[in-house]
Structure 1
Amino acid sequence: MTFAKFPTLLAASSLAFVAACAGGPNNNENTQSGAVAGGLIGAVVGAATGDTAAERRQGALIGAALGAAGGAAIGNQLDRQEEELRQALGNNVGIVNNGQNLTVTLPQDILFATDSATLTGALQNDLVAVARSLNNNPGTTVSVIGHTDNVGEAGYNFDLSQRRAQAVTSVLINAGVSPSRLRTVGRGEDQPIASNLTADGRQQNRRVEIVITPN
């Protein structure tokens, strides 16, 4: 096989990999979009490495193939972990897969009593299920982020969001997740996802997010 044919083979292999993934969990939409995004980025980077037009074309093909394969692998991992989490968790837990990371949202009203950072017993089972999924998929880092509404003093809300995020992190660690993978953050009232002018909006803003990002 000549080197000139190598980029074409790489590209064909990557496209075959993406096609083979169709029909899996969630139809593997993020596997396919990850391959497309990775291929575009790889093509641009690869084209920049050549000095002549022929070298740039060759670099673009190689970069596109490698980028597509890498992007598809990340998307496929996220699709499969999303499916695993949806099967394990109840309807009160929201899951968003944007192709770059997974965000598991747990409403604080079902995690904690008012003005408390002590977890309720029932929801710890869901956190153990999340920990099991994290242990099944070790090639990720995890941010646990606490949020509140804007009722009360901002400094107090910030402290409460940190303590609640730490309580969730502690359960994940006790369930076997390595502390080195975990980052605990309190955002207080600074990142609302709904209006704080209504009771329903404030309820949505009181939450803990577990953001899972492939390494």
Structure 2
Amino acid sequence: MKTKKILTSAVAAVALVGTTSACVTDPNTGNQVLSRTAIGGIGGAGLGYLLGGIVGGKTARIVGAGIGAAAGGYVGYRMDEQIREIEEVTEGTGVDVVEGDDSFLVRFPDVTFAVNSTDISPTMRDTLDGVAQNLVNRPQSLIDVMGHTDSTGSDQYNLDLSRRRAESVANYLVSRGVARARVETIGYGEQYPIADNGTEAGRSQNRRVEIRITPITQDDVEAAY
């Protein structure tokens, strides 16, 4: 069974354990759980892109996507249900699900693309198909596709590659029926490593694309309109 990784707002205060994981406290249960964090002197600061707002701002995107019928309590039980469904369709693929307070990440590993390529590998297309179908079935959410690289190569090259890979994944989701108005993309280049760029294993973890899914509540809809 896949181990769910939980991100909390207190992640910046956790102590690092080993080289690729840290213990954090789930504020809902008080339990200690494992969560991947940035390492190599970066600590929780490297997770700032997860704790910030969604790309482009929530209000304009809710209106633009025409989201207007979100049920009360969507964040909570239904988000947990959606996470469980995505964990099932990504089981055994190397994809991680990282849970936050009001959104969650679906983290696709390095093997999603060939070296220096933006073409999605055949081995990951079936997995993306499953994620896309889940998003189609659950339309009351906004989707950010975020690209990341390791530190090899120039800053500008890495930034451009991360942007193009994020756009490639976004286009694939749209081709499978996800409404384009729900989707935004951003490339972070090498800015947010989750592992040590000094090792090949660490660089492989840092080369990734993440799909952040933010469910929209009735309160969000009322505020937007």
Normalising to structure 1: TM-score of the pair?
0.66
Compare CA radii of gyration and give the structure with the larger one: 1
Task: Name the structure where helix makes up a greater proportion of residues.
Answer: 1
**Number of the residue aligned with 2:91:** 90
- Between the two structures, name the one with larger relative contact order (CA 8 Å, sep ≥ 6): 2
What amino acid sits opposite 1:88 in the alignment?
Answer: V
Q: What letter matches 2:163 in structure 1?
A: Q
Which digits, 9 at most, give the CA deviation of each residue in 1:102-150, with x for residues without a partner?
100001x211111111111121111111110101111100000000000
Give the gaps of 5 or more residues in structure 2. 5-26, 29-70, 217-225
Poorly superposed stretches of 4+, deviation over 2 Å: none
* 1:143 match: 144
Percent identical among aligned pairs is 41
Partner of 2:116: 115
Aligned residue in 1 for 2:102 = 100
Give the equivalent residue in structure 2 for 1:157: 158
Query: Could you say which residue in structure 1 is the equivalent of 2:175?
Result: 174
Code of the residue aligned with 1:86 in structure 2: it is E
Match of 1:201 in 2: 202
Structure 1 residue 99: deviation in Å? 3.1
Normalised to the residue count of structure 2, the TM-score between the two structures is: 0.63
Would the aligned equivalents of 2:170 and 2:183 in 1 still touch at CA under 8 Å?
A: yes
Q: SS of the residue aligned with 1:95?
A: strand
- Determine the C-alpha separation between the residues in 1 that align with 2:209 and 2:99: 16
| 1:90 partner amino acid | E
1:28-43 matches, within 5 Å, as 33=28
Structural RMSD (CA)? 2.2
User: Which has the larger strand fraction?
Assistant: 2
